[in-house]
Chains A and B, each alone.
Chain A
């Protein structure tokens, strides 16, 4: 244990760095294990008497997806309009304001749609999942599941993971659509064209690869949000205060994981 005079010394910093790195590798390994275990239960559950039920999956889809539609729509329209305003403002200097459609269509489909939806869902549902799991750990509900012969990963993690993996790409698709519609309503009068012509131009600007790029990312974000929230949730220590702490860290870790993975994904697919 470090004594006070060692705090801040190079040795102490190195030790903290080492411990941090070990914790990260530990969490990463555990996350991968959790993901594959969830996959195992989803595929094999029925055969080994640990069936994954559809009702909790639908209920998760409802909570994560359908209930998030209003806020996702609102933010997506705002992003679409903001991008359009910035785009027209910059491109006007070159007399190329018509190119704004191309710019908005590509950036919304490939980047902003998946990212904004991912961040929103991490904040809304990732934190809720971490809070739920940490409360269950503290009140021994996880232990109760185990002694009832019910695998907690199969019972709690799989429905959330599957629900998230279905809903997040769907929400992302919705977000892209709404964002482009918002942009069309703003841009069409500004550059003297119609909404119909705008949408035709959007259709010509993006292809299936761009959409696949965005939706693949949202699928990865879905896994990240769920796994990060579960890991944070079960690491809870202490009582109600601990629940608050892991809920906050689930949001911070979830959003960080999304943004960093986004960068790595874009680097690997475009570099």
Chain B
């Protein structure tokens, strides 16, 4: 498939998404389209709303308004059963791995197959071992998650995320808590997955180096709003001051309204 053909098929379409946490607005009118086979990196500082956006894309939260279409299906219009069916085409690698601590690595990887297919045990194990090979964890299938290092946990989580051969793969902070070498190996793995399996990949990260290495396009979020969506070069060369602050790791002092500051000090906000 050529790049042009890929771009014709949106896998994720977010329109005017507004979300709140209690009374606080987290995402403000976010619109975004992600094409098939693309690696989209969602970037932003702490509190920018990037993790919230990811939770909404994974259908873990309900939006205040706006719409999200995943693989052509409108999330808010789906029944619970339809949503569960759709989830089988989605893989997620959580920040801390979210491996089930009471199961071995291979049991963790097999779980989606065991729950959603009628395959026999032997076939499931063979499939799991193939995925373990992809993430280079083959000798560790019988270890418990507590016996794995941080990088190994992430790789095991990726093996579990791709066991159903999903069309769409989400990564939440893949590099968080890893040393630069392991983190770089993980970036290579993400690129390999896209090239070998033609998956659409969404990565939420605040690691600039990692983002620039893997992204086809980057979405920069700040204070719940999209600052820009563009290729690596477009983002790098952006003239927007807030984007440059983020890229150059410059702290952006919050502008305070004196009245609001006083109210906050009094505990009235």
Residue interface bits A151-174, CB-to-B below 8 A is 1, else 0:
100010000000000000000000
Taking a contact as CB atoms closer than 8 A, the residue among B80, B98, B268 that contacts A140 in the complex is B98
Are B60 and A141 in contact, with the CB atoms below 8 A?
Answer: no
Taking a contact as CB atoms closer than 8 A, the residue among B87, B100, B170, B267 that contacts A149 in the complex is B87
Neighbouring A residues of B59 by C-beta, 8 Å: 146-147
- A1-53 residues with Cβ-Cβ distance < 8 A to B are 1, 3, 48-50
Are A139 and B96 in contact, with the CB atoms below 8 A?
Answer: yes
Chain A facing B: main interface SS: loop
Taking a contact as CB atoms closer than 8 A, the residue among A48, A135, A143, A147 that contacts B81 in the complex is A48
Are A143 and B98 in contact, with the CB atoms below 8 A?
Answer: yes
- How many residue pairs link A and B with beta carbons under 8 A? The number is 63
Are B94 and A143 in contact, with the CB atoms below 8 A?
Answer: yes
Is B189 part of the binding interface, using a Cβ–Cβ cutoff of 8 Å?
no
- Stretch of B110-118, B121-129, B240-248 contacting A (4+ beta carbons < 8 Å): B110-118
**Would you give the shortest CB distance from B194 to chain A, in whole angstroms?**
19
Taking a contact as CB atoms closer than 8 A, the residue among B87, B88, B112 that contacts A146 in the complex is B87
> How far apart are the CA atoms of A3 and B266 in the complex, in Å?
9
Known contacts A49-B116, A139-B101; decide if A151 and B84 are in contact (CB<8 Å).
Answer: yes
Are B88 and A139 in contact, with the CB atoms below 8 A?
Answer: no
Is B213 part of the binding interface, using a Cβ–Cβ cutoff of 8 Å?
no
What count of chain A residues pass the 8 Å CB interface test?
Answer: 19
Taking a contact as CB atoms closer than 8 A, the residue among A144, A149, A155 that contacts B98 in the complex is A144
Neighbouring A residues of B20 by C-beta, 8 Å: none
Are B92 and A144 in contact, with the CB atoms below 8 A?
Answer: yes
Neighbouring B residues of A71 by C-beta, 8 Å: none
Is A260 part of the binding interface, using a Cβ–Cβ cutoff of 8 Å?
no
Neighbouring A residues of B92 by C-beta, 8 Å: 144, 147
Is B90 part of the binding interface, using a Cβ–Cβ cutoff of 8 Å?
yes
Are B60 and A147 in contact, with the CB atoms below 8 A?
Answer: yes
Is B25 part of the binding interface, using a Cβ–Cβ cutoff of 8 Å?
no
Known contacts A147-B58, A148-B115, A149-B84; decide if A140 and B95 are in contact (CB<8 Å).
Answer: yes
Are B101 and A135 in contact, with the CB atoms below 8 A?
Answer: yes
Are B87 and A3 in contact, with the CB atoms below 8 A?
Answer: no
